[in-house]
Amino acid sequence: MNSNIFIIGGARPNFMKIAPLIRELERQKIKFKLIHTGQHYDYNMSKIFFDNLGISKPDYFLNVGSGSHAFQTAKIMIEFEKVILKEKPKLIIVVGDVNSTIACALVAKKLLIEVAHVEAGLRSFDKKMPEEINRKLTDHLADYLFVTEESGLFNLKNEGIDSSKIFFVGNIMIDNLLTNSKLARENNYYKGLGLIRDSYGLITIHRASNVDTKKDLERVIKTLNYIQSKIKIIFPIHPRTQKNLKNFNLDEQLKKPNIILTEPLGYLEFLNLMMNAKFILTDSGGIQEEASYLKIPILTLRQNTERPITIEKGTNTLIGNDFNKLKMYVDKILSDSYKKGQEIEKWDGKTSQRIVEIIKNKVL
Ligand code: UD1
């Protein structure tokens, strides 16, 4: 089938959401073009995911790189506008809540091109998070809003978005997880690091609210120090966290026998570490969902989550900055008295099929 669809990816958490869409479009022989904004550019923040997830080379690489929010967003807009004027797509598909998501949606809408937003409706109600601004604005621009969980339906309705634009399709990241789970399980990455199944904690921390000031990073280090006194931990460090640890002269404080530090990992390696961990400590959005699906206990170092289903039905607990709460939940997990988690509606590996069906009916 001939068509003119753009799929936009820019930062690490986008790639696991676009991969299942690409697979489904290819399976149904629907043509599309892939645009990589270059918001993330290091090998282990970007290219490794293309390799791991079998995503073909982008048709356009905008090479925008890092910068302040305004700089990065503006640069994506300027570069993306050139491509869109040349190619005149019928629809662009954006995912998640990163700067690339809002930048491309805004450019497309001003040129009267339809926008689909995958992972619509999530709200943390915390406007201090750049991601909250990105997701809310993108939803209000979009023509097709693909929702992962029930709270998203409720939020969009509350904001007055026309229900004919809203589609409850489930969680596309779970499609990706299911496609790759055999490979991830079998790579036994954790064993190569000398780890034992169910005997380590996996850490990911990179949000501005945890790593951008010295005080916050010291709080995170105190937390990690407590955990490593109880169980071995592995911490693949995001470039933003790495940079700030160095700038605040705190990097030496994580050099402990019970802490393994690594570069950011590929999808299959990270999934293997998640599957075999005793628990996960994070401030990521997507990892709250993946861990809930896998029924691995997860503690989130944030005051709020835009993914409340992971608390209601999944294995997630919000810890915020409360050290005593953290200690209590780590102890619960280590003594096997933590909640077990339940199945979540439409997190079943069929989300990309549902999305492509809707696009075929409504757009093509
Ligand atoms: C971005 C997203 C966030 C997502 C996260 C996942 C926004 C507003 N934030 O945050 O929602 O959870 O990605 O990774 O879009 N850097 C590198 N190499 C890279 C990428 C970044 O060194 O490949 C460094 C840059 O110097 C930059 C810093 O990391 O200053 C932060 O990168 P940036 O893209 O601004 O945001 P993230 O914190 O990664």
What is the predicted pLDDT for the residue at 364?
87
Q: What is the spatial distance between Cα 157 and Cα 341, in angstroms, rounded to a whole number? A: 27
Q: What is the spatial distance between Cα 282 and Cα 203, in angstroms, rounded to a whole number? A: 6
Please name which of 120, 146, 122 lies closest in space to residue 352, comparing C-alpha atoms: 146
pLDDT band at 1 (very low <50, low <70, confident <90, very high): very low
Does ligand 1 lie within 6 Å of residue 218's CB atom? no
pLDDT band at 234 (very low <50, low <70, confident <90, very high): very high
- What spacing in Å lies between the alpha carbon of 236 and ligand 1's midpoint? 14
Does an H or E element contain 357, and which?
helix 351-362
CATH 3.40.50.2000 fits 179-334, yes or no: yes
- What spacing in Å lies between the alpha carbon of 240 and ligand 1's midpoint? 6
- What spacing in Å lies between the alpha carbon of 113 and ligand 1's midpoint? 27
Q: What is the spatial distance between Cα 115 and Cα 144, in angstroms, rounded to a whole number? A: 7
For residue 206, indicate whether it is catalytic.
Answer: yes
Residues 32 and 355 sit within 8 Å (Cβ to Cβ): no
pLDDT digits (tens, 9 = 90+) for 139-190: 999 999 999 999 999 999 999 999 999 999 999 999 999 999 999 999 999 9
Q: What is the spatial distance between Cα 259 and Cα 263, in angstroms, rounded to a whole number? A: 13
pLDDT digits (tens, 9 = 90+) for 55-101: 999 999 999 999 999 999 999 999 999 999 999 999 999 999 999 99
Provide the percentage of residues in the chain whose pLDDT is more than 90.
Answer: 99
Residue ranges of the domains in the chain? 5-170+347-362, 179-334
Residues 317 and 311 sit within 8 Å (Cβ to Cβ): yes
pLDDT band at 10 (very low <50, low <70, confident <90, very high): very high
* SS3 (DSSP) at 13: helix
Contacts of 248 (CB under 8 A, 6+ apart): 214, 217
Does ligand 1 lie within 6 Å of residue 12's CB atom? yes
Q: What is the spatial distance between Cα 171 and Cα 180, in angstroms, rounded to a whole number? A: 15
Does ligand 1 lie within 6 Å of residue 47's CB atom? no
Task: Look up residue 93 and give its two tokens.
Answer: 């598909």
Q: What is the spatial distance between Cα 240 and Cα 263, in angstroms, rounded to a whole number? A: 12
Best residue among 94, 240, 245 to mutate for probing ligand 1, ranked by most atoms within 8 Å of CB: 240
pLDDT band at 310 (very low <50, low <70, confident <90, very high): very high
pLDDT band at 5 (very low <50, low <70, confident <90, very high): very high
Does ligand 1 lie within 6 Å of residue 9's CB atom? no
Phi, psi of 189 (to 5 degrees): -55, -40
* SS3 (DSSP) at 295: coil
pLDDT band at 226 (very low <50, low <70, confident <90, very high): very high
- R_g of the chain, CA atoms, integer Å: 20
- In this structure, is the dihedral angle defined by the CA atoms of residues 43, 122, 172 and 359, taken in order, positive or negative? negative
The residue whose CA is least distant from atom 35 of ligand 1 is 66
For residue 2, pLDDT beyond 90: no
The residue whose CA is least distant from atom 33 of ligand 1 is 66
Q: What is the spatial distance between Cα 93 and Cα 175, in angstroms, rounded to a whole number? A: 17
For residue 193, pLDDT beyond 90: yes
Does ligand 1 lie within 6 Å of residue 40's CB atom? yes
Contacts of 82 (CB under 8 A, 6+ apart): none
What is the predicted pLDDT for the residue at 3?
57
Q: What is the spatial distance between Cα 249 and Cα 69, in angstroms, rounded to a whole number? A: 25
For residue 297, pLDDT beyond 90: yes
Please name which of 100, 184, 238, 128 lies closest in space to residue 118, comparing C-alpha atoms: 100
Q: Which residue has the tokens 């791991």?
A: 52
Residues 264 and 284 sit within 8 Å (Cβ to Cβ): no
Q: What is the spatial distance between Cα 204 and Cα 345, in angstroms, rounded to a whole number? A: 26
Catalytic residue among 36, 40, 117, 206: 206
* SS3 (DSSP) at 119: strand
pLDDT digits (tens, 9 = 90+) for 143-153: 999 999 999 99
Does ligand 1 lie within 6 Å of residue 130's CB atom? yes
Fold classification of 5-170+347-362 is Rossmann fold (3.40.50)
